[in-house]
Amino acid sequence: MKLEEALEQAIKEVPDFPQPGISFKDITPLLLDQKLVHEVLLALLEPVEKLNPTHIAAIESRGFLFGFMMAKELGLPFIPVRKSGKLPRQKLTESYSLEYGTATVEVHREDIPSGARVVIHDDLLATGGTAIAACNLIQQAGAQGLAFSFLLELSFLQGREKLLKHGKVFSLLKYHN
Ligand code: AMP
């Protein structure tokens, strides 16, 4: 079976969660199958490795699952991009708009050296707002957001078009509606 098909079967779509109209993509069944996890990890790494990144950043919290494994596998430093108020030391902060209200992401300032070439990973690309905020944090540090890596992409929300202004975009499975 192709990886895309296996991944599609492993992801559970939950209608109207966490609110009416949203089809939530639950990746937790994938985590039960370590053989598939390994194949997914290799597929995530394949395009990223070629770019010679110096760091892997990932977005709290589902982004940490594969993002940290990517960094570990490549032997690169891992940068956790956290939600507001979680990091204890000197931080960089970026706020962005959600459908209702705003959200904030933060990194420890000293995690990102200027000139770093950073790949940003998250589980899912929807509108792209979160990933762009993470990229802005990296730019605030004088580093470069080279590329964005996702397991899943909601292509009908056209987040990819926004992200392509900042770097390359890779995803393993696209949902077209
Ligand atoms: P966005 O900033 O709109 O690209 O949203 C991406 C973030 O929201 C990611 O961290 C996802 O984990 C989460 N997210 C958005 N939509 C969904 C969805 N339909 N299913 C699961 N997670 C989602």
Q: Which tens digit of pLDDT belongs to each residue from 117-154?
A: 999 999 999 999 999 999 999 999 999 999 999 999 99
Q: Is residue 61 in some structural domain?
A: yes
For the chain, count helices (H), then strands (E): 5, 9
Does 126 reside within a domain?
A: yes
Q: Which atom of ligand 1 is nearest to the CA of 130?
A: 2
Q: What is the pLDDT of residue 33?
A: 98
In a domain, 127, yes or no: yes
Distances (CA, A) of 170 to 12, 87, 89, 155: 21, 28, 32, 12
Name all residues whose Cβ lies below 6 A of ligand 1: 22-25, 59, 62, 122-131, 159
Whether 13 is covered by a domain: the verdict is no
Of 83, 130, 163, the one to substitute when testing ligand 1's pocket (max ligand atoms within 8 A of C-beta) is 130
Atom of ligand 1 nearest to the CA of 133: 2
Q: How far is CA 61 from the centre of its chain?
A: 10
**pLDDT tier, 4 (very low <50, low <70, confident <90, very high otherwise):** very high
109 flagged as catalytic? no
Catalytic residue among 8, 62, 89, 110: 62
Q: pLDDT tens digits, residue range 49-85?
A: 999 999 999 999 999 999 999 999 999 999 999 999 9
Q: Examine the residue annotation and report whether 89 is marked as an active-site residue of this protein.
A: no
The CATH number given to whatever domain includes residue 101 is 3.40.50.2020
Answer whether the bond into residue 61 is a cis peptide, omega within 30°. yes
CB 143 within 8 A of CB 114: yes
pLDDT band at 99 (very low <50, low <70, confident <90, very high): confident
Answer whether residue 27 shows pLDDT above 80.
Answer: yes
Ligand 1 centre distance from Cα of residue 105 (Å): 14
- C-alpha 131 to ligand 1 mean position (Å): 10
Q: Is residue 30 part of a domain?
A: no
Domain range enclosing 120: 52-175
Ligand 1: centre distance to CA 145 (Å): 19
Which pLDDT score, from 0 to 100, does residue 1 have? 83
- Chain-wide mean pLDDT for the chain? 97
Based on the structure, what is the number of domains in the chain? Answer: 1
Q: From ligand 1's centre to the CA of 97, what distance in Å? A: 13
Report yes or no on 47 lying in a domain. no
Residue 113 lies in a domain: yes
**158 assigned to some structural domain:** yes
Query: What is the amino acid identity at position 159?
Result: G
Q: How confident is the model at residue 133, as a pLDDT?
A: 98
Least confident of 21-25, 97-101, 133-137, 161-165: 97-101
